[in-house]
Amino acid sequence: MIITLSGKPGSGKSTVGKILSKRLGLKHYSMGDMQRRFAKEKGITIEELGRLELKDDKIDREVDAYQTEISEKEDDFIIDGRLSFYFIPKSIKIFLVCSDEEGSRRIYSDTKSNKRDSSERKTKSLEETMKIMIKREKDNQKRFLKYYGIDFLDKKNYDLVVDTTDISAEEAGEKILKFINNQ
């Protein structure tokens, strides 16, 4: 079984991915972690990396090839990445959504408590975090439309959409497990 998790910033993609990985005994991959590693290696923030990616698709192509390679070698895993559903079409495709306010609150809280690495710019306020998050989401959407002709925010791309705004990551995981068990 292959599960792909896409979603809005702060919706819980990696957290839910780790929960599902533990519950199902499957390996978990995170494309966000990979992007953060690239940013860290370059000594820039994840937002700055996104701006570079708008001009040059080299990093995107590397991430794409990695996802495709995993899906060709393995049959059972969980992967979180905004375009994982696209590069691994044989997967169960899950989209996590949350309000911009809640996603921003989660990201701001994580950066303040150092749960996110140095590739995430430390912001001075929740409002600044939301502004950056919304810009990053729009940049990603624009980039993916330009390079692939796909809108990762279109819920028609997914088998299940889970709104995590008012539920815990554990509850989101339970909803996904229930959906999978009913397949």
Residue 93: strand pairing partners: 4
**Three-state DSSP state, 141:** helix
Please tell me the predicted confidence (pLDDT) of residue 118.
Answer: 46
Average the pLDDT over 140-166 and give the result.
94
What pTM was estimated for this model as a whole? Answer: 0.85
Least Cα distance to 137 among 39, 2, 10, 4 occurs for 10
Superfamily classification of domain 2-181 = P-loop containing nucleotide triphosphate hydrolases (3.40.50.300)
Give tens-digit pLDDT for 116-128: 554 455 678 889 9
Q: Where are the alpha helices (DSSP H) in 56-125?
A: 58-73, 84-87, 100-112
Is residue 108 within 8 A of residue 129, CB to CB? The reply is yes
Identity of the amino acid at 116 = R
Q: Which residue has the higher pLDDT, 115 or 107?
A: 107
Give yes or no for residue 175 having a pLDDT over 50: yes
Q: With pLDDT > 90 as the criterion, what percentage of the chain qualifies?
A: 57
SS3 for 78? strand
The answer to whether the CB of 67 falls within 8 A of the CB of 84 is yes
Quick: pLDDT tens for 9-67.
899 999 999 999 999 999 999 988 888 887 888 888 877 877 788 788 887 788 788 88
Query: Which two tokens mark 52?
Result: 């570079």
Residue 149 phi, psi dihedral angles, 5° rounding? 70, 30
Q: Where are the beta strands (DSSP E) in the chain?
A: 2-7, 27-30, 77-80, 92-97, 160-163
Average pLDDT estimate for 152-166: 97
Neighbours of 172 (CB within 10 A): 25
Partnered with residue 95 across adjacent β-strands are 6, 161
CA-wise closest residue to 112 among 127, 99, 125, 128: 125
Every domain of the chain and the residues it spans: 2-181
Say whether 22 sits in a helix, a strand or coil.
helix
